[in-house]
Amino acid sequence: MKQSSILLIYTGGTIGMVKDYASGALKAFNFDKLLESIPEIKQLDCHVDSVSFKEPIDSSNMNPSHWVQIATLIEENYDSHDGFVVLHGSDTMSYTASALSFMLENLGKPVIFTGSQLPIGDLRTDAKENLITSIQIAALRKKNKPVVQEVGLYFEYKLYRANRTTKINAEHFQAFASLNYPELIESGVFLKVSEEYLLRNRGRKKFTVHKEMDQNVAILKLFPGIGPLVLQSVVRIPGLKALVLETYGAGNAPTEPWVIDILREAKEKNIHIVNVTQCSGGSVSMGRYETSKQLEELQVINGKDITTEAAVAKLMYLLGSNVSPKLFKSIFETSLRGEIEEN
């Protein structure tokens, strides 16, 4: 078997920072000197190349144009590399990784997102372990085929399906969770692979990269005391095409008439409304309670157990793909990349 070739893509973020001990300031890491700075990578049975954004960015500044940059780098290097590791700031990593899962259709190779809570040069950094294990996972093969054939997110000893993740902590090393889907791989003395949870590309269709992401999407989180002016101001945003509505519990919303009237107004404007629970875990179950029955009757899209991050990315992808309004609801409620429960 030939040695796997892995491409590191550095976009920015804490993981790519080192401390300048003379000034005490953090500065971007020179990835051309990666093997010199992290000699442990030489122990991995793979060849590692690296490429960086010309201007590394903080993930708080990440937007769909940067997602296209990442997707394009993967597209350009897809045939020459066996796997990809994307180094990214943790704050918006779940958004970017979810978006890439939709943009990369019929993916047959691993694309692993990772980052860190502390800079790579810090004494107590989590960056080295996250980086080294992500490369190792990207290089994993079985019967000469990649073990992982989807977009994953690796952090603190666990690989998750990227579009199932959300950032849950700004200070702990265990910064991410996948509350509605099990981890794919757990790192310990050995890598424990849960193959039954992995996506499989049967190789029947060609790898395709989608680069049209429609940004005319909004998120509104319901709260006790929300008034009609707030909801109206959102659904009347010029050019709005879709709204992620973060509801209570299993998809519940106030039953006051003005709520339904305003949402009906949005539907009449062909604005797609997705019902997503604002709970960290669990699923929307419209019609289970009276407080969600009206949403069901209004044909609001059932977000089931999708994360807000994946819902936003999926909306941008479907809108950018010009999906027919008649088919939009059924396609959104269907699992495209393992991002939502099947039934």
The pLDDT tens digits for 290-315 are 778 899 889 999 999 999 999 999 99
Number of H helices, E strands in the chain: 9, 20
Q: What is the DSSP letter of 3?
A: P
Q: pLDDT at residue 15 above 90? A: no
What are the φ and ψ backbone dihedral angles of 27, each rounded to 5 degrees? -135, 160
Task: Express each pLDDT in 120-152 by its tens digit.
Answer: 767 787 878 899 999 999 999 998 899 999 999
288, burial (CB in 10 Å: exposed 0-12, middle 13-18, buried 19+)? middle
Task: List the catalytic residue out of 14, 133, 277, 307.
Answer: 14
**Is the per-residue pLDDT at 1 higher than 70?**
no
**Locate tokens 């059932």: which residue?**
302
The yes-or-no answer on residue 14 being catalytic is: yes
Query: Per mean pLDDT, which of 109-123, 195-209, 237-251 is the most reliable?
Result: 237-251
CB 303 within 8 A of CB 275: yes
Q: What integer pLDDT is reported at residue 171 of this predicted model?
A: 79
Mean pLDDT of all residues in the chain?
Answer: 91
What's the distance, Cα to Cα, between the start and end of the chain in Å? 40
Q: Measure the CA–CA gap between 19 and 13, rounded to whole angstroms.
A: 14
pLDDT, tens only, 240-274: 999 999 999 999 999 999 999 999 999 999 999 99
Confidence label for 117 from pLDDT (cuts 50, 70 and 90):
confident
Between helices 93-103 and 64-77, what is the axis angle to 10°?
50
| 85: enclosing H helix or E strand | strand 83-87
Flag the least confident range among 118-122, 195-199, 282-286.
118-122
For 207-241, what is each residue's pLDDT tens digit?
999 999 999 999 999 999 999 999 999 999 999 99
Nearest Cα to 140, choosing from 100, 106, 104, 112? 112
Percent residues over pLDDT 90 in the chain: 70
Question: Which pLDDT score, from 0 to 100, does residue 56 have?
Answer: 85
pTM of the model: 0.93
Q: If pLDDT is split at 50, 70 and 90, which confidence band does 33 have?
A: low
- Does residue 245 contact residue 220 with C-beta atoms inside 8 Å? yes
pLDDT for residue 204 is more than 80 = no
**Confidence tier at 40 by pLDDT (50, 70, 90):** confident
- Residue 205's pLDDT band, with cuts at 50, 70 and 90, is confident
Q: Which region among 1-10, 85-94, 115-124 has the lowest average model confidence (pLDDT)?
A: 115-124
Given a cut of 70, whether residue 35 has pLDDT beyond it is no
